[in-house]
Amino acid sequence: MLTRIDHIGIACFDLDATVEFYRATYGFEVFHTEVNEEQGVREAMLKINDTSDGGSSYLQLLEPIREDSTVAKWLAKNGEGVHHIAFGTADVDGDAEQIRGKGVRVLYDEPRRGSMGSRITFLHPKDCHGVLTELVTSAPVESSAH
């Protein structure tokens, strides 16, 4: 089942300025950046700490790259701020099905590609007390040994 808070997603208008705020204010450094065309965002993952299950916890900063993206629409309505919370799991497929069985709407029929090669799905915020909730199975960690 769910093992940790994987990340908190924060929607922003200017990714570079927001990264600089978190670096200058809290000392958080960028662990990973990417553009996710499917989600329509440019993102930065700021690593907060490692967790006891071998994963990590992050802040995910999200800047829309097109007006029709979910994050762009959310920003237009709500302004900058917390967009979602993501929980880590070893089995996004199984946990999504189990949660669906409890009457919570799962937004994707099949998990999609997320940050850093992860597999993700979302739960409907109206079924989660107003919180957009993401389930994440991290990509396997590749060994640096050759």
- Does the pTM surpass 0.85? The reply is yes
Mean pLDDT, the chain, integer: 93
Q: What percent of the chain has pLDDT over 90?
A: 88
Active-site amino acid positions: 7, 43, 60, 84, 134
Torsions phi, psi for 34 (to 5 deg) = -165, 165
Q: Which tokens hold the place of 48?
A: 């907060």
Interval 7-25 mean pLDDT? 98
Q: Which tokens hold the place of 81?
A: 């701020």
Nearest of 80, 72, 86 to residue 128 by alpha carbon: 86
pLDDT digits (tens, 9 = 90+) for 68-98: 999 999 999 999 999 999 999 999 999 999 9
Q: Tell me if residue 57 falls in helix, strand or coil.
A: strand
pLDDT for the residue 1: 85
Nearest of 119, 123, 88 to residue 3 by alpha carbon: 88
